[in-house]
Amino acid sequence: MMGGRTSGVLTLVLLAACSEGISQPKAETGDALAQVRAQVEGQRQCAPLLSGTSPIEFSADALGGSKVDALVAAGVVRRVPLPVTGDRPRVRIEPTSGGSRDIWLRRLDPAGPAEPMLCYGRKQVVAVHPEGKDRLRYDYRIVQSPAWTQRPDIRAAFPFLPRELNEVHRAEQAATREGGHWVLAGDTGPDASAELPPSEGFFPG
């Protein structure tokens, strides 16, 4: 009888130990996920809009293509003719009242010109992935996308957009453990730069 009781107690102890071993990493992962979310959750996801600087003013021919047509038809921007001062008519691209909610004039240098960005959703962190003991990266989706992002003409004009909205992305930005907390390298918060290849954006050509 004593042998059976000892065996039963030992089994319970082993099960408890196994349980602790399994739950501890989950708790640590949960803490890391919460800390990463606090730094990037709800961050705007944006891409360059037509030009590297504001105001967006070019020849009417340069801003007359189908991609700009799609943005105009979607009610994001409008073309405003400028006074003729040379051989070719020029236009300025301005946000509409509705589009202004999604257009961000980003300033990486407070003394420099603003860079027009068009924002198409916000980050939602869905998972973290340890890369060694003191480093991890996170996965995110783009949520809260404006209605214009669902338009077929917009998606045809800017094929990077459906990929951005439909897929889960692994962030290039890494977090490291500092003093018991996970800290993301680089910019965080709503004004951080979008993670896009240099060739992707709402460009006219």
Q: What HEC string does the chain produce?
A: CHHHHHHHHHHHHHHHHHHHHHHHHHHHHHHHHHHHHHHHCCCEEEEEECCCCCCEEEECCCCCCHHHHHHHHCCCEEEEECCCCCCCCEEEEEECCCHHHCEEEECCCCCCCCEEEEEEEEEEEEEEEECCCCEEEEEEEEECCCHHHHCHHHHHHCCHHHHHHHCCEEEEEEEEEECCEEEECCCCCCCCCCCCCCCCCECCC
Is 196's pLDDT higher than 50? yes
Q: What is the mean pLDDT of residues 40-62?
A: 92
Q: What is the mean pLDDT of residues 193-201?
A: 77
Is 57's pLDDT higher than 90? yes
Is 2's pLDDT higher than 60? no
What pLDDT shows up at residue 185? 84
Is 155's pLDDT higher than 80? yes
